[in-house]
Homo-oligomer: A and B are copies of this chain.
Amino acid sequence: MKNITLKEIAETLGISITTVSKALKNYPDVSPRTRQAVMNLAHQLQYTPNSFAVNLRTQESKTIGLIIPEVVHHFFSSVINGIIAEAEKNGYLVIILQSNESLELEKKQVALLLSKRVDGILMSLSNESNDDEHIREIIHKGIPFVQFDKISKLIHSSKVIINDQLAAMQAVQHLIDNGCKKIAHIRGPVNPQNAIDRFLGYKKALEKNTIPFDSSLVYTCQRVSFEEGYAFAEQIKKEHPDVDGVFVITDLVAVGVLAYFNENQIRVPDDVAVIGFSNWFMSQVITPKLSTVDQPSDEMGTRAFQLLLEQMIARRDQKPFQAQTIELKTAVVQRESTRKKS
């Protein structure tokens, strides 16, 4: 069945297209009788306004694009949840693209969203991103744009972030307060700003407590996976059997660390304390329950959409817009994997 147009309704009723359009919009200069006839026929034919044509007139698509590294990821799926819910409330649809942590794919997706003329773009960078020409193009074209979580500090745009450095410092301080003296760090890949900041927070916490920094205690993830956590835990015990605390880039990797320790009768937290980052759901159901840093993922999505909306409205109304940075609060969540050492 094909889509019905205003023209067909007009021809069927022997009136002008303008009259049909006015009738559908409830304009007062159409007689009640004509309006009723148009309404009835439109209903009968299941007329749907052509959104492409509407778009051409308003130059608004009421659609935004979201580019994220991964969907199957507790943190990102919670952010998506926040974004979709807030977009829905405001009458916007969300196109979701996944960069799979690949810079090349990310560039392609930015180009695609630009050609689709979305009203705005939300983005968390892939781990590979070390070049931001494609992002500069979004800004150069004047498309409203908000970065969240994994951001580029060099790009002037609105941002929703946490203070990764401070949060990491607090996590490591928590290990130190519980008696850890030799703390390893399983860090994220080299590019993402948040991996860099968490690493710097680890270093600063050591420094503050006059614990010498030892680069051989730092292990770098490529994929940020469960398997890497498992393998690094084994490596840590081999290379540094006296390590008594591990600060891990994210909960998924920390769960891999716990799996290795559990299977090899290394007691957590008595032999080694472990703290993760992000507060994934599974962290509260594994054994031992994982201490971590809570990061408000759903709120990050909500706030990111709100910032984008402000900018989209400013653009539509041709008003100036000032980029803003929102920093959300984090908190150390103590569970079973960290405890005061006697």
Residues of chain A whose beta carbon lies under 8 Å from any beta carbon of chain B: 1-3, 46, 48-53, 55-56, 59, 61, 63, 70-74, 77-78, 80-81, 84-85, 88, 93-98, 105, 112, 114-117, 137, 140-142, 226, 255, 258-259, 262, 281-282, 285-287
Contacts and interface: CB of A to CB of B under 8 A. Distances in A.
Contact of A61 (B52, B59, B282, B285): B52
A118 B233 CA distance: 48
- How many identical subunits does the complex contain? 2
Contacts of A71: 71, 77, 80-81, 84
B115 A98 contact: no
A256 to B, nearest CB: 8
Contact of A98 (B50, B81, B140, B286): B81
A48 B114 contact: yes
A141 B63 contact: no
Contacts of A259: 285
A66 to B, nearest CB: 9
Contacts of A105: 88
B95 A93 contact: yes
A73 B76 CA distance: 11
Contacts of A226: 281, 285
Contact of A51 (B73, B97, B116): B116
B115 A51 contact: yes
Given A81-B72, A88-B97, A95-B95, A141 B52 contact: no
B95 A63 contact: yes
A85 B98 contact: yes
Closest 10 CB pairs of A and B: A287-B287, A282-B282, A1-B142, A52-B55, A72-B77, A52-B56, A93-B95, A77-B77, A71-B80, A96-B96
